[in-house]
Amino acid sequence: MGNTKKHIQSERPGSSIQCAFKVSIIGCGNVGATTAYALLLDGTPTDLALIDLNKEKAEGILLDLEHSLPFTSFTKLTASDNYDECTGSSIVIITAGKRQVEGQTRLQLLADNKKIFRDMIPKIAAAAPNAILLVITNPVDVLTYEALKASKFSSQKVFGTGTMLDTARLQFHLSEKLKIHPRSIDAYILGEHGDSSFPVWSSANVMGKPICGFTGFSQDTANQCYKDTRDAAYRIIHDVGFTCYSIATATCELVKNIFADTHQVFPLSTLLQNYYGINDVCLSVPCVIGRNGIVQTLQIPLSDDEKKKLAASANLIKSLL
């Protein structure tokens, strides 16, 4: 347990209305540091706490980020190796733990990261009893379930980024083929954030025009876009050693939407209860997001094949809980 180092004690200059929105990031590795950077540039959090077992690492990243403050909106930054630093957080983002090395699947991280979660989550929950817990650490679906049980928070408050990232990847690869902006492409990946994920082609569309109705867009093109999506992390880990920019950008988008209570819909890993008959497992389905977390999950139409794939994802994840 180290001493909390508070570098900046002042309130936001130039602001007469103080609306505190504290975000804590547990784990200041590639993902945690990049997420902190994205949030600092975005300016949504009033307070940003960086927490890592490795105190020097947290403090070094803190100092580097602090030197950006003359060019950003003012955010109160702190660094610590103590989970109590989360106190007062609206959102605690969890990236702590082992990451994949080349040749490893996300599921192979389970034993190590489950142990970390069982130790860490009760301490975070005690320090920040009103926070939303946003899980990024892999395997994200199993660890979201673990965080839910260990925190004893409501499922509205504990969820994982899940297939939000896979969906962004699919939308990008489709946009390249269709020559249409990714934001205009209504196509999702659901299920596990991992190899048993699946694209929902049955409802994929652009402004109501089915994706499969586009000239030159074949089943082979669809299959290739999904393959590029599913294998993206393996490819990037081969080339770079880790992924961080896309997950950090997705997380920043999520934090902004939580803060602004937008009720936007994202595919997120959430506890399923009677979702196409699936119970008591965390997997990604479309979720409406608000200031208090998940407002509702949407049971969208799925083809018989997609229902089978969702059930297969659920069975796989359940076998690991």
Which one among 234, 242, 245, 276 touches ligand NAD, defined by CB under 6 A? 242
Q: Which stretch binds ligand NAD (CB under 6 A): 13-21, 64-72, 132-140, 303-311?
A: 132-140
Interface with ligand NAD, residue 120, by CB under 6 A: yes
Closest CA to 269 of 180, 137, 75: 137
Interface with ligand NAD, residue 267, by CB under 6 A: no
CA 6 to chain centre: 27
* R_g of the chain, CA atoms, integer Å: 19
Rounded Cα distance between 67 and 78, Å, is 13
Rounded Cα distance between 253 and 223, Å, is 28
Rounded Cα distance between 120 and 82, Å, is 10
Interface with ligand NAD, residue 229, by CB under 6 A: no
Rounded Cα distance between 37 and 166, Å, is 22
Which one among 26, 91, 200, 268 touches ligand NAD, defined by CB under 6 A? 26
Q: Is 34 or 211 the residue whose CB approaches ligand NAD more closely? A: 34
238 a catalytic residue: no
Residues whose CB falls within 8 Å of the CB of residue 113, separated by 6 or more in sequence, listed in order: 97, 98, 137, 138, 139, 143
Strand 47-51 and strand 22-26: pairing?
A: parallel
Considering the candidates 173, 193, 238, 263, report the single residue annotated as catalytic.
193
Interface with ligand NAD, residue 27, by CB under 6 A: yes
Which one among 46, 100, 171, 196 touches ligand NAD, defined by CB under 6 A? 100
Interface with ligand NAD, residue 236, by CB under 6 A: no
Give min distance, CB of 99 to ligand NAD, in A: 4
Three-state DSSP class for 27?
Answer: coil
Q: Which helix (H) or strand (E) holds 31?
A: helix 30-42
Interface with ligand NAD, residue 297, by CB under 6 A: no
Closest CA to 306 of 287, 280, 284: 284
Give min distance, CB of 70 to ligand NAD, in A: 27
Interface with ligand NAD, residue 243, by CB under 6 A: yes
Residue nearest to ligand NAD (CB): 29
Identity of the amino acid at 60: G
Which one among 165, 190, 232, 281 touches ligand NAD, defined by CB under 6 A? 165
Q: Which residues bind ligand NAD (CB under 6 A)?
A: 26-32, 52-54, 57, 95-100, 109, 116, 120, 136-138, 140, 161, 165, 193, 242-243, 247
